[in-house]
Amino acid sequence: MTTHKKITLLLFLSFFVLINGQDIFISNVQNRKAASLNGKWKYVLDPYSTGQIGFMPIYKNVIPKDKSDRVEYSFEKAQTLWIPGSWNFQKPELQYFEGSIWFQKVFNKIDPSKNKRYFVYVGAANYLSTVTLNGEILGKHEGGFTPFCFEVTRLLKEKDNSLIIGVNNSRESNSIPAKVTDWFNHGGITRDVLLIEEPETFISNYFLSLDKTSLNLESKRIEGKLQLSGTTFPPKARILIPELKVNYEITIENDGCSTFSIDVKNIELWSPENPKLYNVTLEAGNDTINDLIGFRTIETKEKQILLNGKPVFLKGISLHDENPVRKDRANSVDDAKLVLGWAKELGCNFVRLAHYPHQENIVRLADKLGIMLWEELPLYWGINWDDPEVLNKAKKQFTELINRDFNRASSIIWSIANETAPNDARNAFLTSIAEHIKSIDQTRLLTAACKKDQAVDGHPDDEYTINDPIMQHLDIISFNEYLGWYGGLPSECRKKTFRSKIDKPIIVSEFGGGALQGFYADSLTRWSEDYQEYLYRENIAMFDKIDGLAGMTPWILADFMSPLRQLPDVQDGWNRKGLISERGIKKKAFFVLQKYYMTK
């Protein structure tokens, strides 16, 4: 291992340990021995977020000792909510509830044998979680969309373990996102909860990627990193990729880390046309882990995006992590199949996962379907750029996301902000985020959905420029533009032009307008499908002229819930910019975009 690789890996791992407050990150939970803790959980409401009822800690699960004992809450007699799922639409009284709810699940150990380690894994819980087992606090996690886990080996009993998790979804000015968002603040444990069983020493995480410097060589090179967890480590580990005839021995360092490089021949590269995935097996001591991994390179050259060294146009759409039909956070393979199926029908090879990390199922399914992905954090309206703690939270959440999705070939872009106004504090914050991401993942491209300037070269009515200071740190220039919806009419679009002061590829990351599905009028009647259809025609014609246009992700695939959208009989709590209604019915603009993508 080179000195540079050692330093990079150790900085990465030590950073994650220090800021996360946990001793480990476990990746690829789908392919590990685990028991699902999903299902009905008992719950106790904590409206003032004190963690107490009747001066008693809720997580202690206090039970009356006799008929005279005063206890003012009871999990045993409590109502239930389904986990995973947001609490907001399971009970009418919880629809707009913001505060704390404590959930309890009673379970038994997976395997009563010794010499095992056990971890409670939560795919995501919004927003601040306190995890306890059998009356003892394991730790806390902040962030509503990234996974976390805590070791429970010491506290685990053979039977009747009481797992109690308190979740607070209150919006705060020093959170990510901040207080105002244009999506629904789903509260609760919104993704899978698992009890993972592992050997005393096991493979906790690994990173495999294709070295882009070997792209044009006959023999390609797979770069890798491996992390073991335990008190003692085997001297060797092994990686097997049978289809590529790889059976490679890895030397384990004293800290359980290792980096390696493997030359391979006749490798098929992952792409939308050929989403090739290889069966990969990693072995260390008594542990074996399997995964399906695709290998590709993504880079830019002047104003082009290159996938595996060849120019690619990103025919995209934006997406929220909801199943609109059942009004809930997406949390299953079926949810992922629904929305990615719509995207494929639209003609997309690319999806922007807005505005926060989506469920892991959608990323893994995108690997199989050949759909490239843009991923981001909710560094969005109202972020407190001056607060160093907020910066640390952003780095922590990006680290968790990168750990989760590093091995997914479909994930090609990290975005570091959306619609944030430039100023010194914001610029310094995002520069630090860009540097952090590049220090731990150089296999993907960086972008941000920037704002534009209007008055340039004396032609304020005709030419827009993208001139955000953060652009110098990005690989791709992206911007949102709603001409014809937020200002002006669609008829004004064709006379407008756009240019960037930096020669880099450009993605139009948002455009569009609202339409109530089934409302037909004419092309000048707001909220009609006809207006949205006309707007899409004129917007596409305007953007198609951009020099360096490398893709677009119009806003948005499907209508989504938002408390900001209250116009009676039109919005009714839904953002209507979707090309598909919350009932799954396509609007007329869907077919305008579909026809455009057929020509690209």
CATH of residue 358: 3.20.20.80
Looking at residue 16, what is its pLDDT?
A: 36
Is 19's pLDDT higher than 90? no
Peptide bond into 141 cis (omega under 30): no
Q: What is the 3-state secondary structure (H, E, C) of 349-414?
A: CEEEECCCCCCHHHHHHHHHHCCEEEEECCCCCCCCCCCHHHHHHHHHHHHHHHHHHCCCCCEEEE
> What is the total count of domains within the chain?
3
State the average pLDDT over residues 565-577. 97
Same structural domain for residues 192 and 207? no
How many whole angstroms separate alpha carbon 500 and alpha carbon 468?
9
Answer yes or no: are the C-beta atoms of 163 and 135 closer than 8 Å. no
Position 373 in a domain: yes
CATH of the domain at 261: 2.60.40.10
State the average pLDDT over residues 291-301. 98
Chain position carrying tokens 């070939």: 409
Encoded tokens for 433 = 């985020």
How many whole angstroms separate alpha carbon 124 and alpha carbon 175?
16
Answer yes or no: are the C-beta atoms of 141 and 150 closer than 8 Å. no
Is 112's pLDDT higher than 80? no
Give the model confidence (pLDDT) of 511-570 as tens digits.
999 999 999 999 999 999 999 999 999 999 999 999 999 999 999 999 999 999 999 999
Is 83's pLDDT higher than 50? yes
Position 380 in a domain: yes
How many whole angstroms separate alpha carbon 191 and alpha carbon 195?
14
Looking at residue 463, what is its pLDDT?
A: 83
Looking at residue 30, what is its pLDDT?
A: 94
Looking at residue 235, what is its pLDDT?
A: 96
How many whole angstroms separate alpha carbon 77 and alpha carbon 60?
16
Dihedral (CA of 195, 200, 205, 209) sign: negative
Neighbours of 590 (CB within 10 A): 22
Same structural domain for residues 147 and 291? no
Q: Which of 510, 511, 513 is nearest to 528 (CA)?
A: 513
pLDDT bracket for residue 14 (50, 70, 90): very low
How many whole angstroms separate alpha carbon 431 and alpha carbon 373?
22
Same structural domain for residues 421 and 409? yes
pLDDT bracket for residue 460 (50, 70, 90): low
DSSP string, 330-355: --SHHHHHHHHHHHHHHT-SEEEE-S
Same structural domain for residues 445 and 571? yes
Position 27 in a domain: no
Beta-carbon contacts of 101 under 8 Å, excluding residues fewer than 6 positions away, are 43, 44, 45, 46, 81, 87, 166, 167, 187, 188
Position 22 in a domain: no
Indicate the Cα dihedral angle 64, 66, 67, 68, nearest 10°.
-90
Q: Which helix (H) or strand (E) holds 61?
A: none
Is 11's pLDDT higher than 80? no
* Pairwise pLDDT comparison (110 vs 368), residue with the higher score: 368
Is 23's pLDDT higher than 80? no
pLDDT bracket for residue 109 (50, 70, 90): confident
How many whole angstroms separate alpha carbon 574 and alpha carbon 91?
19
Same structural domain for residues 49 and 180? yes
Please state, rounded to an integer, the average pLDDT across all residues of the chain: 93
Peptide bond into 189 cis (omega under 30): no
Same structural domain for residues 385 and 373? yes
Answer yes or no: are the C-beta atoms of 527 and 290 closer than 8 Å. no
Burial of residue 456 (CB within 10 Å: 0-12, 13-18, 19+) is: middle
Same structural domain for residues 124 and 244? no
pLDDT bracket for residue 2 (50, 70, 90): very low
φ/ψ of 530, rounded to 5, equals -65, -40
Render the burial of 373-397: b for 16+ CB within 10 Å, e for the rest.
bbbbbbbbbebbbeeeebbebbbbb
Position 289 in a domain: yes
Same structural domain for residues 456 and 535? yes
Looking at residue 15, what is its pLDDT?
A: 33
State the average pLDDT over residues 89-96. 95
Chain position carrying tokens 């030590």: 14
Tell me how far CA of residue 492 lies from CA of 116, 316, 451, 456, 592, in angstroms. Answer: 66, 24, 19, 18, 19
Chain position carrying tokens 């004293």: 254
Q: Which of 207, 120, 202, 209 is nearest to 156 (CA)?
A: 120
Amino acid occupying residue 559: D
pLDDT bracket for residue 10 (50, 70, 90): very low
Answer yes or no: are the C-beta atoms of 420 and 379 closer than 8 Å. yes
- 3-state class of 445 per DSSP? strand
Helices (H) and strands (E) in the chain, counts: 7, 38
What is the separation of C-alpha 458 from the centre of its chain, rounded to a whole number of angstroms? 41
Position 20 in a domain: no
Answer yes or no: are the C-beta atoms of 20 and 138 closer than 8 Å. no
Position 502 in a domain: yes
pLDDT bracket for residue 452 (50, 70, 90): confident
How many whole angstroms separate alpha carbon 80 and alpha carbon 461?
58
pLDDT bracket for residue 3 (50, 70, 90): very low
The domain boundary, picked from 153, 183, 199, lies at: 199
The domain boundary, picked from 199, 225, 251, lies at: 199
- The contacts found for 332-337 with CB under 8 angstroms, 24 or more apart, are 332/359, 332/361, 333/361, 333/365, 335/359, 335/361, 335/362, 336/361, 336/362, 336/364, 336/365, 337/365
Q: Which of 292, 313, 291 is nearest to 304 (CA)?
A: 313
The domain boundary, picked from 164, 181, 199, lies at: 199
Beta-carbon contacts of 485 under 8 Å, excluding residues fewer than 6 positions away, are 512, 513, 514, 535
- 3-state class of 166 per DSSP? strand
Same structural domain for residues 205 and 186? no
Is 453's pLDDT higher than 80? no
Same structural domain for residues 285 and 342? no
DSSP string, 503-546: -S-EEEEE----B-TT----TTSTBSHHHHHHHHHHHHHHHTT-
How many whole angstroms separate alpha carbon 415 and alpha carbon 374?
7
Amino acid occupying residue 435: E
pLDDT bracket for residue 462 (50, 70, 90): confident
Burial of residue 493 (CB within 10 Å: 0-12, 13-18, 19+) is: buried
Position 26 in a domain: no
Give the model confidence (pLDDT) of 39-53 as tens digits.
999 999 999 999 999
Domain extent, residue 260, equals 3-15+201-295
Answer yes or no: are the C-beta atoms of 303 and 311 closer than 8 Å. no
Same structural domain for residues 260 and 408? no
pLDDT bracket for residue 67 (50, 70, 90): very high
Give the model confidence (pLDDT) of 135-190 as tens digits.
999 999 999 999 999 999 999 999 999 999 999 999 999 999 999 999 999 999 99
Answer yes or no: are the C-beta atoms of 558 and 571 closer than 8 Å. no
Same structural domain for residues 356 and 495? yes
pLDDT bracket for residue 197 (50, 70, 90): very high
